[in-house]
Structure 1
Amino acid sequence: MEARIWPLYRLRITTPRLELRLPDLNLAGELAEVAAAGVHDEARMPFTVPWTDVSPEERGRGTFQHVLGTIANWRPQEWTLSLAVLCLGQVVGRQDLSATDFAVTQEAETGSWLGLAHHGHGLGTEMRAAVLHLAFEGLGARSVTSAAMTDNPASLRVSEKLGYRADGLTVTSVQGTYRTLQRLRLDRADWAAHRTVPVDIHSLEPCRSFFG
Protein backbone atom coordinates (compact mmCIF):
# COMPACT_ATOMS: atom_id res chain seq x y z
CA MET A 1 0.00 0.00 0.00
CA GLU A 2 2.65 2.55 1.05
CA ALA A 3 4.76 1.97 -2.07
CA ARG A 4 1.76 2.32 -4.37
CA ILE A 5 0.87 5.69 -2.88
CA TRP A 6 4.44 6.82 -2.24
CA PRO A 7 6.81 5.22 -4.81
CA LEU A 8 9.85 6.45 -2.89
CA TYR A 9 9.29 3.45 -0.59
CA ARG A 10 10.46 1.24 -3.48
CA LEU A 11 13.69 3.19 -4.04
CA ARG A 12 16.80 1.26 -3.02
CA ILE A 13 20.47 2.23 -3.16
CA THR A 14 22.88 -0.62 -2.58
CA THR A 15 26.64 -0.97 -2.07
CA PRO A 16 28.70 -4.08 -1.23
CA ARG A 17 27.70 -3.82 2.44
CA LEU A 18 24.79 -1.43 2.64
CA GLU A 19 21.22 -0.86 1.58
CA LEU A 20 19.68 2.62 1.85
CA ARG A 21 15.92 3.02 1.72
CA LEU A 22 13.08 5.16 2.97
CA PRO A 23 12.00 3.57 6.24
CA ASP A 24 8.46 2.32 6.76
CA LEU A 25 7.03 2.51 10.28
CA ASN A 26 8.85 -0.62 11.44
CA LEU A 27 12.24 0.53 10.13
CA ALA A 28 11.62 4.04 11.49
CA GLY A 29 11.18 2.43 14.89
CA GLU A 30 14.49 0.57 14.53
CA LEU A 31 16.16 3.80 13.44
CA ALA A 32 14.80 5.50 16.54
CA GLU A 33 16.31 2.78 18.72
CA VAL A 34 19.74 3.27 17.11
CA ALA A 35 19.52 7.02 17.72
CA ALA A 36 18.43 6.48 21.32
CA ALA A 37 21.53 4.35 21.92
CA GLY A 38 23.77 7.28 20.93
CA VAL A 39 25.36 8.67 17.77
CA HIS A 40 28.42 10.56 19.02
CA ASP A 41 30.72 11.20 21.97
CA GLU A 42 28.69 13.23 24.46
CA ALA A 43 31.71 15.45 25.16
CA ARG A 44 31.42 17.16 21.76
CA MET A 45 28.33 18.26 19.80
CA PRO A 46 28.93 17.71 16.05
CA PHE A 47 25.61 19.17 14.87
CA THR A 48 24.58 22.80 14.37
CA VAL A 49 21.11 21.83 15.61
CA PRO A 50 21.81 19.93 18.85
CA TRP A 51 19.02 17.40 18.39
CA THR A 52 20.96 14.74 20.31
CA ASP A 53 21.17 16.79 23.51
CA VAL A 54 18.07 15.22 25.05
CA SER A 55 17.24 12.00 26.83
CA PRO A 56 17.58 8.75 24.86
CA GLU A 57 13.80 8.42 24.75
CA GLU A 58 13.37 11.94 23.33
CA ARG A 59 16.21 11.37 20.86
CA GLY A 60 14.52 8.25 19.52
CA ARG A 61 11.12 9.92 19.34
CA GLY A 62 12.60 12.94 17.55
CA THR A 63 14.23 10.67 14.98
CA PHE A 64 10.92 8.92 14.34
CA GLN A 65 9.14 12.27 13.93
CA HIS A 66 11.83 13.57 11.60
CA VAL A 67 11.34 10.73 9.12
CA LEU A 68 7.55 11.15 9.12
CA GLY A 69 7.97 14.91 8.79
CA THR A 70 10.09 14.63 5.67
CA ILE A 71 7.30 12.70 3.97
CA ALA A 72 4.54 15.02 5.20
CA ASN A 73 6.41 18.13 4.08
CA TRP A 74 7.72 16.78 0.75
CA ARG A 75 7.25 18.99 -2.31
CA PRO A 76 9.06 18.64 -5.67
CA GLN A 77 10.37 22.17 -5.08
CA GLU A 78 11.74 21.39 -1.61
CA TRP A 79 12.45 17.91 -0.34
CA THR A 80 14.51 15.83 2.06
CA LEU A 81 15.05 12.16 1.31
CA SER A 82 15.81 10.67 4.73
CA LEU A 83 17.07 7.12 4.22
CA ALA A 84 17.63 4.37 6.75
CA VAL A 85 21.04 2.74 6.29
CA LEU A 86 21.11 -1.04 6.75
CA CYS A 87 24.28 -3.11 7.02
CA LEU A 88 23.64 -6.82 6.51
CA GLY A 89 19.99 -6.18 7.33
CA GLN A 90 20.66 -4.21 10.54
CA VAL A 91 19.79 -0.51 10.78
CA VAL A 92 22.98 1.42 11.58
CA GLY A 93 22.20 5.07 10.80
CA ARG A 94 20.55 7.64 8.59
CA GLN A 95 21.63 9.35 5.37
CA ASP A 96 19.80 12.43 4.08
CA LEU A 97 19.82 14.10 0.68
CA SER A 98 17.93 17.38 0.42
CA ALA A 99 17.40 20.17 -2.09
CA THR A 100 15.42 23.31 -2.84
CA ASP A 101 14.43 24.02 -6.45
CA PHE A 102 16.60 21.13 -7.62
CA ALA A 103 15.21 21.33 -11.14
CA VAL A 104 16.76 24.80 -11.41
CA THR A 105 19.90 24.60 -9.26
CA GLN A 106 20.76 20.91 -9.77
CA GLU A 107 22.43 21.16 -6.37
CA ALA A 108 21.69 19.02 -3.31
CA GLU A 109 23.01 18.75 0.24
CA THR A 110 23.93 15.73 2.33
CA GLY A 111 23.65 15.10 6.05
CA SER A 112 23.97 11.93 8.06
CA TRP A 113 24.59 10.20 11.34
CA LEU A 114 25.76 6.73 12.29
CA GLY A 115 25.00 4.86 15.48
CA LEU A 116 27.92 5.09 17.89
CA ALA A 117 28.30 1.32 17.98
CA HIS A 118 28.96 1.32 14.21
CA HIS A 119 31.67 3.98 14.04
CA GLY A 120 35.13 3.12 12.76
CA HIS A 121 34.21 0.59 10.07
CA GLY A 122 34.11 2.83 6.99
CA LEU A 123 30.31 2.81 6.87
CA GLY A 124 30.08 6.62 6.90
CA THR A 125 32.08 6.82 3.67
CA GLU A 126 30.15 4.02 2.01
CA MET A 127 26.71 5.43 2.82
CA ARG A 128 27.69 8.91 1.63
CA ALA A 129 29.10 7.41 -1.57
CA ALA A 130 25.73 5.71 -2.10
CA VAL A 131 23.69 8.88 -1.85
CA LEU A 132 26.20 10.83 -3.97
CA HIS A 133 25.70 8.23 -6.70
CA LEU A 134 21.96 8.85 -6.47
CA ALA A 135 22.50 12.60 -6.73
CA PHE A 136 24.96 12.63 -9.63
CA GLU A 137 24.23 9.47 -11.60
CA GLY A 138 20.56 9.07 -10.77
CA LEU A 139 19.30 12.66 -10.62
CA GLY A 140 21.88 14.52 -12.72
CA ALA A 141 23.15 16.88 -10.03
CA ARG A 142 25.84 19.42 -10.91
CA SER A 143 27.08 19.72 -7.33
CA VAL A 144 26.48 18.50 -3.80
CA THR A 145 27.32 20.40 -0.63
CA SER A 146 27.96 19.39 2.95
CA ALA A 147 29.44 20.88 6.11
CA ALA A 148 31.20 19.76 9.27
CA MET A 149 32.59 21.35 12.39
CA THR A 150 36.29 22.11 12.01
CA ASP A 151 36.91 20.00 15.12
CA ASN A 152 35.14 16.97 13.61
CA PRO A 153 38.03 15.27 11.76
CA ALA A 154 36.13 12.03 11.11
CA SER A 155 33.45 13.79 9.07
CA LEU A 156 36.00 15.94 7.27
CA ARG A 157 38.01 12.83 6.33
CA VAL A 158 34.95 11.24 4.77
CA SER A 159 34.37 14.34 2.65
CA GLU A 160 38.03 14.51 1.63
CA LYS A 161 38.07 10.86 0.52
CA LEU A 162 35.00 11.45 -1.64
CA GLY A 163 36.47 14.49 -3.40
CA TYR A 164 34.81 17.45 -1.70
CA ARG A 165 36.68 20.76 -1.72
CA ALA A 166 36.66 23.39 1.02
CA ASP A 167 34.10 26.10 0.32
CA GLY A 168 34.69 28.63 3.10
CA LEU A 169 33.97 28.87 6.82
CA THR A 170 30.83 29.74 8.72
CA VAL A 171 30.71 30.84 12.36
CA THR A 172 27.75 29.64 14.36
CA SER A 173 26.50 29.40 17.94
CA VAL A 174 25.74 25.92 19.26
CA GLN A 175 24.44 25.59 22.81
CA GLY A 176 25.75 29.08 23.52
CA THR A 177 29.26 28.19 22.33
CA TYR A 178 31.22 29.70 19.41
CA ARG A 179 31.79 27.03 16.74
CA THR A 180 33.34 27.12 13.27
CA LEU A 181 31.77 25.17 10.44
CA GLN A 182 33.69 24.11 7.32
CA ARG A 183 31.54 24.31 4.20
CA LEU A 184 32.28 21.71 1.54
CA ARG A 185 31.39 21.35 -2.13
CA LEU A 186 31.65 18.45 -4.57
CA ASP A 187 31.22 18.92 -8.30
CA ARG A 188 30.58 16.22 -10.88
CA ALA A 189 34.18 15.99 -12.09
CA ASP A 190 35.61 15.54 -8.58
CA TRP A 191 32.92 13.00 -7.73
CA ALA A 192 33.78 10.97 -10.81
CA ALA A 193 37.51 11.14 -10.04
CA HIS A 194 37.06 9.81 -6.48
CA ARG A 195 34.55 7.01 -7.07
CA THR A 196 35.72 3.79 -5.42
CA VAL A 197 32.50 2.26 -4.03
CA PRO A 198 30.28 0.23 -6.39
CA VAL A 199 26.71 1.54 -6.13
CA ASP A 200 23.42 0.40 -7.71
CA ILE A 201 20.12 2.28 -7.77
CA HIS A 202 16.83 0.38 -7.92
CA SER A 203 13.29 1.62 -8.77
CA LEU A 204 14.21 5.27 -9.36
CA GLU A 205 12.12 5.81 -12.50
CA PRO A 206 8.68 5.92 -10.78
CA CYS A 207 10.11 8.50 -8.34
CA ARG A 208 11.59 11.06 -10.74
CA SER A 209 8.69 13.51 -10.62
CA PHE A 210 9.05 13.68 -6.82
CA PHE A 211 12.46 15.35 -7.24
CA GLY A 212 11.14 18.06 -9.55
Structure 2
Amino acid sequence: MAEEHIWPLYGLRVTTPRLELRLPDLAALAGLAAVAADGVHDEARMPFTVPWTDGGPEARARTTFQHVLGTVANWRPEEWMLSLAVRYGSGDGDGDGDGDGGRIVGRQDLGATDFAVTREAETGSWLGLAHQGRGIGTEMRAAVLHLAFAGLGARCVTSAAMTDNPASLAVSRKLGYAPDGLVTVAVRGEARTVRRLRLDRAAWEAHRTVPVEVRGLAPCRALFGV
Protein backbone atom coordinates (compact mmCIF):
# COMPACT_ATOMS: atom_id res chain seq x y z
CA MET A 1 0.00 0.00 0.00
CA ALA A 2 1.43 3.38 -1.02
CA GLU A 3 2.24 5.87 1.74
CA GLU A 4 -0.27 8.45 0.51
CA HIS A 5 -3.16 5.99 0.92
CA ILE A 6 -2.34 5.79 4.62
CA TRP A 7 -1.19 9.38 5.10
CA PRO A 8 -2.53 11.59 2.25
CA LEU A 9 0.01 14.33 2.91
CA TYR A 10 2.64 12.17 1.19
CA GLY A 11 0.73 12.81 -2.03
CA LEU A 12 0.67 16.60 -1.66
CA ARG A 13 2.82 18.49 -4.20
CA VAL A 14 3.50 22.22 -4.32
CA THR A 15 5.48 23.30 -7.38
CA THR A 16 6.96 26.49 -8.81
CA PRO A 17 8.99 26.99 -11.99
CA ARG A 18 12.15 25.75 -10.23
CA LEU A 19 11.00 23.89 -7.11
CA GLU A 20 8.92 21.02 -5.84
CA LEU A 21 7.89 20.91 -2.18
CA ARG A 22 6.61 17.67 -0.64
CA LEU A 23 6.60 15.70 2.57
CA PRO A 24 9.74 13.55 2.31
CA ASP A 25 9.64 9.76 2.39
CA LEU A 26 12.51 8.02 4.23
CA ALA A 27 14.88 8.19 1.28
CA ALA A 28 14.24 11.90 0.70
CA LEU A 29 14.44 12.53 4.44
CA ALA A 30 17.92 11.02 4.49
CA GLY A 31 18.85 13.43 1.70
CA LEU A 32 17.40 16.36 3.62
CA ALA A 33 19.36 15.34 6.70
CA ALA A 34 22.54 15.27 4.61
CA VAL A 35 21.92 18.86 3.47
CA ALA A 36 21.52 19.93 7.10
CA ALA A 37 24.72 18.10 8.02
CA ASP A 38 26.63 20.05 5.35
CA GLY A 39 25.66 23.35 7.01
CA VAL A 40 22.81 25.84 7.11
CA HIS A 41 24.48 29.03 8.37
CA ASP A 42 27.77 30.54 9.53
CA GLU A 43 28.57 28.78 12.81
CA ALA A 44 29.64 32.09 14.36
CA ARG A 45 26.02 33.25 14.52
CA MET A 46 22.71 31.57 15.32
CA PRO A 47 19.70 32.67 13.23
CA PHE A 48 17.21 30.35 14.99
CA THR A 49 15.46 30.85 18.33
CA VAL A 50 15.94 27.12 18.94
CA PRO A 51 19.64 26.40 18.22
CA TRP A 52 19.00 23.03 16.57
CA THR A 53 22.08 23.37 14.35
CA ASP A 54 24.48 23.20 17.31
CA GLY A 55 26.38 19.96 17.86
CA GLY A 56 28.04 19.24 14.52
CA PRO A 57 27.03 17.51 11.27
CA GLU A 58 25.82 14.23 12.76
CA ALA A 59 23.64 16.00 15.34
CA ARG A 60 22.12 18.27 12.66
CA ALA A 61 21.30 15.28 10.49
CA ARG A 62 19.62 13.39 13.34
CA THR A 63 17.70 16.46 14.52
CA THR A 64 16.36 17.01 11.00
CA PHE A 65 15.40 13.36 10.61
CA GLN A 66 13.61 13.24 13.98
CA HIS A 67 11.85 16.56 13.48
CA VAL A 68 10.11 15.56 10.27
CA LEU A 69 9.11 12.14 11.59
CA GLY A 70 7.82 13.85 14.73
CA THR A 71 5.59 16.19 12.75
CA VAL A 72 3.88 13.16 11.18
CA ALA A 73 3.57 11.26 14.45
CA ASN A 74 2.19 14.23 16.39
CA TRP A 75 -0.12 15.64 13.72
CA ARG A 76 -3.64 16.60 14.80
CA PRO A 77 -6.14 18.77 12.86
CA GLU A 78 -6.10 21.11 15.88
CA GLU A 79 -2.30 21.44 15.86
CA TRP A 80 -0.10 20.58 12.92
CA MET A 81 3.27 21.27 11.33
CA LEU A 82 3.83 20.48 7.67
CA SER A 83 7.58 20.08 7.02
CA LEU A 84 8.25 19.92 3.30
CA ALA A 85 11.50 18.98 1.62
CA VAL A 86 12.41 21.43 -1.14
CA ARG A 87 13.78 20.03 -4.39
CA TYR A 88 15.49 22.42 -6.78
CA GLY A 89 14.99 21.75 -10.48
CA SER A 90 11.89 19.56 -9.92
CA GLY A 91 9.21 22.14 -10.58
CA ASP A 92 7.35 22.81 -13.79
CA GLY A 93 10.32 24.47 -15.43
CA ASP A 94 13.79 23.30 -16.35
CA GLY A 95 15.77 24.94 -13.56
CA ASP A 96 18.68 27.20 -14.49
CA GLY A 97 20.86 24.55 -16.06
CA ASP A 98 23.55 24.58 -13.38
CA GLY A 99 23.42 20.86 -12.72
CA ASP A 100 21.27 20.99 -9.55
CA GLY A 101 18.21 19.38 -11.14
CA GLY A 102 16.19 17.39 -8.61
CA ARG A 103 18.52 18.13 -5.70
CA ILE A 104 17.12 18.54 -2.18
CA VAL A 105 18.21 21.97 -0.96
CA GLY A 106 16.27 22.71 2.24
CA ARG A 107 13.06 22.56 4.21
CA GLN A 108 9.95 24.74 4.28
CA ASP A 109 7.50 24.50 7.19
CA LEU A 110 3.90 25.63 7.54
CA GLY A 111 2.26 25.18 10.92
CA ALA A 112 -0.87 26.18 12.80
CA THR A 113 -2.85 25.73 15.99
CA ASP A 114 -6.67 25.73 15.78
CA PHE A 115 -6.45 26.70 12.12
CA ALA A 116 -10.14 25.90 11.54
CA VAL A 117 -10.97 28.74 13.94
CA THR A 118 -8.17 31.26 13.50
CA ARG A 119 -7.31 30.72 9.82
CA GLU A 120 -3.81 31.83 10.83
CA ALA A 121 -0.63 29.88 10.10
CA GLU A 122 3.10 30.45 10.49
CA THR A 123 6.10 29.68 8.31
CA GLY A 124 9.67 28.66 9.04
CA SER A 125 12.45 27.40 6.80
CA TRP A 126 16.09 26.75 6.22
CA LEU A 127 18.25 26.39 3.14
CA GLY A 128 21.58 24.60 2.78
CA LEU A 129 24.56 26.96 2.65
CA ALA A 130 25.54 25.74 -0.80
CA HIS A 131 22.16 26.79 -2.22
CA GLN A 132 21.77 30.26 -0.75
CA GLY A 133 21.88 33.50 -2.72
CA ARG A 134 19.89 32.32 -5.76
CA GLY A 135 16.36 33.37 -4.79
CA ILE A 136 15.38 29.86 -3.74
CA GLY A 137 14.34 31.01 -0.25
CA THR A 138 11.87 33.51 -1.70
CA GLU A 139 10.45 30.99 -4.14
CA MET A 140 9.91 28.25 -1.57
CA ARG A 141 8.22 30.67 0.85
CA ALA A 142 5.99 31.91 -2.00
CA ALA A 143 5.05 28.29 -2.69
CA VAL A 144 3.90 27.55 0.85
CA LEU A 145 2.09 30.91 1.08
CA HIS A 146 0.06 29.90 -1.96
CA LEU A 147 -0.80 26.64 -0.23
CA ALA A 148 -1.90 28.56 2.87
CA PHE A 149 -3.96 31.28 1.20
CA ALA A 150 -5.23 29.74 -2.02
CA GLY A 151 -5.31 26.13 -0.89
CA LEU A 152 -6.38 26.31 2.75
CA GLY A 153 -8.14 29.66 2.95
CA ALA A 154 -5.81 31.35 5.44
CA ARG A 155 -6.61 34.89 6.57
CA CYS A 156 -3.01 35.66 7.50
CA VAL A 157 0.39 34.02 7.82
CA THR A 158 3.08 35.03 10.30
CA SER A 159 6.83 34.63 10.36
CA ALA A 160 9.76 35.87 12.44
CA ALA A 161 13.48 36.49 12.09
CA MET A 162 16.34 37.81 14.15
CA THR A 163 16.83 41.53 13.60
CA ASP A 164 20.40 40.74 12.47
CA ASN A 165 19.22 38.28 9.79
CA PRO A 166 18.87 40.59 6.75
CA ALA A 167 18.42 37.77 4.23
CA SER A 168 15.31 36.37 5.93
CA LEU A 169 13.87 39.84 6.52
CA ALA A 170 14.44 40.73 2.86
CA VAL A 171 12.45 37.67 1.75
CA SER A 172 9.57 38.72 4.00
CA ARG A 173 9.57 42.30 2.67
CA LYS A 174 9.61 41.08 -0.92
CA LEU A 175 6.56 38.89 -0.27
CA GLY A 176 4.57 41.66 1.42
CA TYR A 177 4.89 40.94 5.15
CA ALA A 178 4.45 43.88 7.54
CA PRO A 179 6.32 44.34 10.84
CA ASP A 180 4.35 42.99 13.81
CA GLY A 181 6.46 43.96 16.80
CA LEU A 182 9.63 42.79 18.53
CA VAL A 183 10.28 40.13 21.14
CA THR A 184 13.38 39.33 23.18
CA VAL A 185 14.42 35.68 23.46
CA ALA A 186 17.28 33.81 25.10
CA VAL A 187 19.52 31.95 22.64
CA ARG A 188 22.78 30.28 23.66
CA GLY A 189 22.49 32.12 26.98
CA GLU A 190 22.28 35.56 25.33
CA ALA A 191 19.40 37.98 24.78
CA ARG A 192 18.45 38.27 21.10
CA THR A 193 15.81 40.41 19.40
CA VAL A 194 13.31 38.81 17.03
CA ARG A 195 11.12 40.76 14.63
CA ARG A 196 7.65 39.33 14.16
CA LEU A 197 6.08 39.67 10.72
CA ARG A 198 2.51 39.33 9.46
CA LEU A 199 1.09 38.86 5.95
CA ASP A 200 -2.63 39.25 5.31
CA ARG A 201 -4.51 38.06 2.26
CA ALA A 202 -4.64 41.48 0.57
CA ALA A 203 -0.88 41.98 0.89
CA TRP A 204 -0.23 38.44 -0.36
CA GLU A 205 -2.39 39.08 -3.42
CA ALA A 206 -0.58 42.37 -4.10
CA HIS A 207 2.89 40.80 -3.97
CA ARG A 208 2.33 37.54 -5.85
CA THR A 209 4.93 37.08 -8.57
CA VAL A 210 5.75 33.34 -8.49
CA PRO A 211 3.48 30.87 -10.35
CA VAL A 212 2.51 28.05 -7.97
CA GLU A 213 0.58 24.82 -8.53
CA VAL A 214 -0.83 22.64 -5.73
CA ARG A 215 -1.73 19.01 -6.39
CA GLY A 216 -3.09 16.31 -4.11
CA LEU A 217 -4.66 18.68 -1.58
CA ALA A 218 -8.25 17.40 -1.65
CA PRO A 219 -7.69 14.19 0.37
CA CYS A 220 -5.60 16.17 2.90
CA ARG A 221 -8.10 18.89 3.77
CA ALA A 222 -9.61 17.14 6.81
CA LEU A 223 -6.11 16.71 8.26
CA PHE A 224 -5.68 20.49 8.16
CA GLY A 225 -9.02 20.98 9.89
CA VAL A 226 -10.72 22.56 6.86
Structure 2 Cα separation of the partners of residues 171 and 36 of structure 1 = 28
Q: Hey, what does 1:18 align to over in structure 2?
A: 19
Q: Hey, what does 2:148 align to over in structure 1?
A: 135
Match status 1:120 vs 2:121: no
Q: Hey, what does 2:99 align to over in structure 1?
A: none
Q: Hey, what does 1:160 align to over in structure 2?
A: 173
Which aligned pairs between 1:78-89 and structure 2 lie closer than 5 A? 78-88=79-89, 89=102
Which aligned pairs between 1:20-169 and structure 2 lie closer than 5 A? 20-88=21-89, 89-169=102-182
In structure 2, give the amino acid aligned to 1:65: Q
Structure 1 Cα separation of the partners of residues 29 and 116 of structure 2 = 29
CA RMSD of aligned residues (A): 0.4
Structure 1 Cα separation of the partners of residues 182 and 59 of structure 2 = 31
Structure 2 Cα separation of the partners of residues 129 and 15 of structure 1 = 9
Deviation at 1:53, TM superposition (A): 0.8
> What are structure 2's unaligned runs of at least 5 residues?
90-101
Deviation at 1:63, TM superposition (A): 0.2
Structure 2 Cα separation of the partners of residues 99 and 114 of structure 1 = 21
Q: Hey, what does 1:186 align to over in structure 2?
A: 199
Structure 2 Cα separation of the partners of residues 196 and 41 of structure 1 = 30
In structure 2, give the amino acid aligned to 1:189: A
Q: Hey, what does 2:209 align to over in structure 1?
A: 196
In structure 2, give the amino acid aligned to 1:92: V
Deviation at 1:131, TM superposition (A): 0.1
TM-score normalised by the chain length of structure 1: 0.99
Structure 2 Cα separation of the partners of residues 168 and 185 of structure 1 = 10
Q: Hey, what does 1:7 align to over in structure 2?
A: 8
> What are structure 1's unaligned runs of at least 5 residues?
none
In structure 1, give the amino acid aligned to 2:195: Q
Structure 1 Cα separation of the partners of residues 88 and 222 of structure 2 = 29
TM-score normalised by the chain length of structure 2: 0.93
Deviation at 1:87, TM superposition (A): 0.3
Structure 2 Cα separation of the partners of residues 57 and 44 of structure 1 = 19
Which consecutive aligned stretches of 4+ in structure 1 deviate over 2 angstroms post-superposition? Answer: none
Identical-pair percentage = 75
Structure 2 Cα separation of the partners of residues 34 and 144 of structure 1 = 27
Deviations 1:37-67 (A, max 9, x none): 0001111100000000111001101100000
Deviation at 1:188, TM superposition (A): 0.1
Structure 2 Cα separation of the partners of residues 54 and 178 of structure 1 = 21
Equivalenced residues, count: 212
